[in-house]
Amino acid sequence: MQSILQYRRFRDLAENQLATNPEKGLGLRQQPTFRRIKHFSANETDPRDSRSGDEVSVVSSQNTLPHPDQHNETHDDDEKASISPSMGRLNASVTTKASEGDNSDITEAIVVGFEPTYDPLNPRDWSFGKRLIVTIVVSFMGVIVGWSSSIDSGIIPQYADEFGVSEVVASLSTGLFLVGFGTGAVMSGPFSETVGRNPIYIITLIVFMLLLVGAGLAQNLAGQLVCRTLAGIFAATPLACAGGTIADVWTPEEQVFAFPIYAIISFSGPVLGPVVGGWIGQSNLSWRWTEWVTLIGAGIILITVVLFQPETYAPILLKWKAIHLRRVTGDDRYQGEIELRETSLPARLMLAMYRPVVMLIQEPTIFLFSLYLTVAYIIIFTFFTGYEFIYEGIYGLTQGETALCFLGLAIGLLFCVPLIPLNAKLRSRDITRTKETDPTGKTLPESRLYWAMIGAPALPISMFWMAWTARPDIPFWSPLAASVLTGFGMLCIFITCYQYLIDTYGTYAASALSSLTLMRYLVSGAMIEASIPFYKNLGVPYTLTILGCISAVLVPIPYVFYRHGPQIRRSRYSGNNY
């Protein structure tokens, strides 16, 4: 609904811009540049262009209407150019190459863009309040899918009793959901970059809700696990696309505030899910109410998205603008860059699936940060089964009281709030220093490492603290206080991993983040199954000590990268960004 109304508003705005000044409809500072597009057949490629990704080959000719401030120049030769439909702040830039004279099958196009100063069509020019609402909505989408990933861990005993299986098998409901998360996140990006963010959010939320119904009504273990796995695949969309939505509406400088807000809100989902699940398990309600509660929450989020969430993906918005300009002017040369893209959706899906795996293997930066975040996730998700051994086994708490202990992790997330202005100040300082030495230079990605440099030691400290104070002669408040430190450290690591990889890999950031998502959810899903035998056979102290030792080994990563990052991250994917 909101996207339909937005499309109609775009029509009126585009007409007003064109009526006021024809040049504004193009979003260019000077007269429009007319580009002639050479179309290659399915079996033909441009031998001069070896770049990968979603790109189109175009031919750029001389401006037909010279600007008064420009010298009157003529050029006899056309220039061959490549443009990326996902570039920059949304006005096309062109990298030229010499043409070889074959002008067959060439058409002329006028590529539209946003106005350079202020454009109400541009999401980054919307009011602060509107952009904040967009951020909060995608954050709560993250809450509901994260909630769904963990809520079933609170009813494992009841689930196991009904289906007559062990608790290890019962934990598959959570583990397979996480595996679905990892695989679904890889596929969501290309779809959102073809039809826009909103249609993908809405469609996947609807399918996710239908699968929740299937999981809640399933009368056998196999059916329930299949529905949970598929639900995880479709629930992955907010995880995969929310970062893109935030980047759509906030500038890189503003993302210093916006992304941590998103992270803090969305991470409350997997932390609060077991709280509700545990009390449902202890009550007289069926364990199936975990699915019904999640279904109600997802329905509220779906209605909110349909009624209030606007489309934010700039290439789609520019496509809408081009459609309206074609209709108003009758000139079919008006095109959005996304309409010039020749790479098919299946081809981009294949690229989205294999490139993250290749980058994970070939890129030490991606591998190390993926490993670090994966260990943090293993600690959090193994708590879903481990808290039963800590708080019920050692302290004799009830199932519902044990569930409340997850609130310690939630409090730890809130402890990150005071760090937002501090990190913003440090980032601003680094930007200022960069501009002083090179006015056109980019601030190094290492300025994104402050979160982890502050919070990284908290993770192993909390593990050792919890491991050796979770004893009957020490009150349960001690391991509970340690969990606050765990939540704080985990979120600091998450924020750093995402922001550092985005800044480092630029054009390939989506693939880098897919590598991060794929590894951490596949491994975490498997470790949930292994966690119960670990806690049973090794006991709480040694299991947590092992996790603490592993996380302690990885603590130096942000400090090493802060010192030697420019040397470590040189690669074919990131070498040209800085």
pLDDT in tens, 484-543: 999 999 999 999 999 998 888 877 787 888 888 889 999 999 999 889 999 999 999 999
Contact 268, 413 (CB under 8 A): yes
* Same domain membership, residue 199 and residue 325: yes
- 118, amino acid identity: Y
Confidence at residue 341, expressed as pLDDT on a 0 to 100 scale: 73
d(CA 185, CA 236): 5
Q: What is the DSSP-derived secondary structure letter of residue 337?
A: G
State how far the alpha carbon of 140 is from the alpha carbons of 5, 26, 211, 243, 298, in Å. Answer: 23, 36, 19, 13, 10
Please tell me the total number of residues recorded for the chain in this structure: 578
Place of tokens 């009390």: 279
* Same domain membership, residue 176 and residue 145: yes
d(CA 314, CA 249): 9
| Within-domain flag for 36 | no
| Within-domain flag for 81 | no
Confidence at residue 57, expressed as pLDDT on a 0 to 100 scale: 27
For residues 347-382, b (16+ Cβ closer than 10 Å) or e, as one string?
ebbebbbebbeebbeebebbbbbbbbbbbbbbbbbb
Contact 352, 189 (CB under 8 A): yes
Confidence at residue 509, expressed as pLDDT on a 0 to 100 scale: 80
CATH number at residue 316: 1.20.1250.20
* Same domain membership, residue 551 and residue 447: yes
- 533, amino acid identity: P
* Same domain membership, residue 256 and residue 215: yes
Beta-strand pair 56-60/34-38: antiparallel
Contact 479, 496 (CB under 8 A): no
> What is the sign, positive or negative, of the torsion defined by CA atoms of 104, 108, 112, 115?
positive
Tokens coding 498: 């995402």
Tokens coding 272: 């609060």
Tokens coding 116: 């350079």
Question: pLDDT under 70 in the chain at which residues?
Answer: 1-3, 7, 10, 14-15, 17-107, 572, 574-578
Tokens coding 535: 């806690």
| Within-domain flag for 546 | yes
End-to-end CA distance of the chain: 42
SS3 578: coil
Confidence at residue 6, expressed as pLDDT on a 0 to 100 scale: 72
* Same domain membership, residue 134 and residue 270: yes
SS3 83: strand
Burial class (CB in 10 A: 0-12, 13-18, 19+), 139: buried
* Same domain membership, residue 381 and residue 324: no
Contact 174, 150 (CB under 8 A): yes
Confidence at residue 169, expressed as pLDDT on a 0 to 100 scale: 92
Tokens coding 154: 């609170």
| Within-domain flag for 3 | yes
| Within-domain flag for 64 | no
Confidence at residue 69, expressed as pLDDT on a 0 to 100 scale: 36
| Within-domain flag for 400 | yes
* Same domain membership, residue 364 and residue 323: no
Confidence at residue 402, expressed as pLDDT on a 0 to 100 scale: 93
* Same domain membership, residue 361 and residue 294: no
State how far the alpha carbon of 215 is from the alpha carbons of 148, 178, 206, 234, 438, in Å. Answer: 11, 15, 14, 14, 57
Confidence at residue 137, expressed as pLDDT on a 0 to 100 scale: 94
Confidence at residue 17, expressed as pLDDT on a 0 to 100 scale: 66
* Same domain membership, residue 366 and residue 320: no
* Same domain membership, residue 325 and residue 358: no
Q: Which helix (H) or strand (E) holds 388?
A: none
* Same domain membership, residue 363 and residue 318: no
- Report the number of distinct structural domains present in the chain: 2
Contact 490, 380 (CB under 8 A): yes
| Within-domain flag for 223 | yes
Q: Which helix (H) or strand (E) holds 156?
A: helix 156-163
Nearest to 240 by CA among 273, 175, 191, 194: 191
Tokens coding 377: 């996730």
* Same domain membership, residue 417 and residue 307: no
| Within-domain flag for 92 | no
Tokens coding 265: 């809100």
d(CA 263, CA 417): 10
Task: List the domain range (segments joined by +) for residue 424.
Answer: 354-568
SS3 237: helix
Contact 525, 384 (CB under 8 A): no
Q: How many CB atoms lie within 10 A of CB 418?
A: 8
Place of tokens 């690229």: 351
Confidence at residue 84, expressed as pLDDT on a 0 to 100 scale: 33
Nearest to 10 by CA among 121, 130, 134, 127: 121
- 306, amino acid identity: V
pTM for this model (two decimals):
0.81
Tokens coding 283: 């009550």
